[in-house]
Amino acid sequence: MHPEGFLEVITGPMFAGKTTELIKRIERQIFAKRKAALFKPAIDNRYSEDEVVAHNGLRYDAFVIPTDEEGVRRIAEITEGEGFEVIGVDEVQFFPISIVGMLNRLADEGIYVIASGLNLDFKGDPFPVTKELLVRADNIIYLTAVCTVCGAPATRTQRLINGKPAPRDSPVILVGGRESYEARCRRHHIIP
Ligand code: ADP
Ligand code: TMP
Ligand code: MG
């Protein structure tokens, strides 16, 4: 299963099932007797400090990594030091841009790398890390959610502040779930 090294990217808006798909793929590799590990950023403490947790409650043990240069080095050290053959990184958009070169190098070294993250922020602008990973990927899994307004496939994420669309000058990073975000189709995605 990708003994030659592989870079796979799971992307789409919030609630599309990115984390669920990542856990499923890691679990399959463990069933295949591959040595596999999951990593997640320390800032994503929405549901658990030491597990990757999906919006539907599915959860899996993970290494929790700070979102700085030291964190990027730590992922490489743990992967190479422990001899992991397969690694998954959730919320990859929160790490510094240097994670792109690092994950690409691990794939070159023969590791099956699965990176999961948002392609677009609440304004519909790309997250640079995900964008750079997507153009280097050996395989892309593009998922959609369901628009909370009309039920069409959702490719965007609406940020809501006190139930109202967040303005363009709202900060890019705001960790949250259903209380602050909704999946939307292009037509129902609003940026005042
Ligand atoms: P992601 O990591 O992409 O945000 P998760 O894997 O954590 O997605 O969660 C996916 C789950 O979110 C779905 O299985 C479903 O139960 C739930 N969900 C909540 N809102 C929506 C929505 N608008 N569209 C689709 N799924 C939704
Ligand atoms: P999810 O893709 O697993 O649902 O998680 C996305 C996380 O990213 C969640 O904590 C909210 C956060 N986020 C931002 O920080 N800025 C954004 O513009 C968007 C859309 C999400
Ligand atoms: Mg997720």
91 carries an active-site annotation: yes
- Residues 24 and 60: their CA atoms lie apart, in Å, by 10
- Non-local CB neighbours of 81 within 8 Å, separated by 6+ positions: none
The ligand placed nearest to the CA atom of residue 191 is: 2
The ligand placed nearest to the CA atom of residue 143 is: 1
**Mean pLDDT calculated for residue range 118-134:** 98
Ligand 2 pocket residue status of 130, Cβ below 6 Å: no
Q: Which atom of ligand 1 is nearest to the CA of 143?
A: 3
Q: Which residues surround ligand 3, an ion (CB under 5 A)?
A: 18-19
Among the listed residues 91, 132, 179, 182, the single catalytic one is 91
Tell me which amino acid residue 121 is.
D
Is the Cα dihedral 84, 14, 93, 50 positive or negative? Answer: negative
- Residues 12 and 188: their CA atoms lie apart, in Å, by 16
Structure tokens at 8: 């796979």
Q: In terms of CATH, what superfamily is 6-145?
A: P-loop containing nucleotide triphosphate hydrolases (3.40.50.300)
Is the Cα dihedral 23, 28, 29, 35 positive or negative? Answer: positive
Q: Tell me how far the alpha carbon of residue 21 lies from the centroid of ligand 3, in angstroms.
A: 9
Q: For residue range 9-59, list pLDDT tens digits in order.
A: 999 999 999 999 999 999 999 999 999 999 999 986 766 779 999 999 999
- Residues 162 and 182: their CA atoms lie apart, in Å, by 13
What pLDDT is recorded for position 4? 84
Residue of 56, 141, 175 with the most ligand 2 atoms within 8 Å of its CB, for mutation: 175
What pLDDT is recorded for position 163? 94
